[in-house]
Every structure is written in C-alpha cells, then in structure tokens.
Amino acid sequence: MSGRLWSGWRATYLNRREDDDPGDTFVRLLESGLPDETTHIVARLGTAFAVLNVHPYCTGHLLVLPRRKVRDLTDMNSEESRDLWSLVGEAVEVLRAEYRPDGLNVGLNLGRAAGGSIPAHLHVHVVPRWIGDANFLAATADTKVIPEALSVTGDRVRRRWDDAVARRRSP
C-alpha cells in the first residue's frame, strides 16, 4: 500500500485557468526600469532576454524568453526565434563554463498541463545538473537545496556572459 503526501498548497496552481497570468510577470519585469541586478536579468539580445529563475530547481537555473508575450513557439516571428535560440545556446555555454555541471536540462513546458507555471509567456528552462543533485526534492518534501544566493548567481552568470560575448566579438 502506498502512503499519502498532503500538498494542499498545490491547489492554487491546479485550479488556475490556462489564461491566468500572475500580472504579466515577465513583461512587468522588463518594463520595471529596475537595474538587471535587481530583476535578475543576466543577458539581453534584440527581442529576447535571459533571467534567473526565482524558484530554481538548482543553482544557475535560467529562463530564456522573448520580450514580447507569446504563448507558443509558433507565435514567434523569425527574429524572436533567432534571438531566443541564440540566447539558449549562449546560456548553455555560460553555465558549462561557470558551474561545470555534469549535464544540462533544456526545455519548454507548453501549456499548463505540461507543467508551465506561466503558460501565457513562453520561456525556455536551462538548468545545470550534477550527478547526485537534489533533483525535484521540492515535489516530495517542499524543500529545495540552493547553496548560492540569487544575487551571487546573477553576478557570476552576468560576468561570464559578458566575457563570452566579448570573446566572440573580438577579431
């Protein structure tokens, strides 16, 4: 017989409608006028940007997304698609160089049923992974082990990103 794990706190998430968006989170972030260090934005490229996930699975968990609020890959124009996937590639390079993970998860959750917490604004997760990391511990114990403050992660990733871009652009 299997045991039960009560997680009533999940009811709010499960009962949300597909079109619910908690305040256009990413659009508000971009339009806030706050410095990137405050908003945790680590990179910008034309029509896309990368930001630290404020509810990370592990240290270095990034979200890469178009500036414009779009729901699906097919809603992006060619410039948005190019910028998004360029930043995803750079994010992989930066996280490998800075954190030396054993692997990376790169993926999207399209629609609420797929696990998308903000399904109205497409975002690509880039998550460094280590053998033996805590994986999805939060699903079973409402606990995550994140050994580094977001501000420290942001500084490290932003510095590494700037270095990578500078190297790529130098003759």
Q: Which residues are catalytic?
A: 123
Angstrom CA distances, 61 to 109, 132, 166, stand at: 15, 17, 23
| Unique residue bearing structure tokens 């501000």 | 151
Residue 136 C-beta-side C-alpha neighbours within 13 Å: 3
Distance between CA atoms of 165 and 135, rounded to whole angstroms? 30
Max Cα–Cα distance, the chain, nearest Å: 65
Strands of the sheet with 48-52, listed across from one edge: 41-45, 48-52, 62-66, 124-129, 103-108
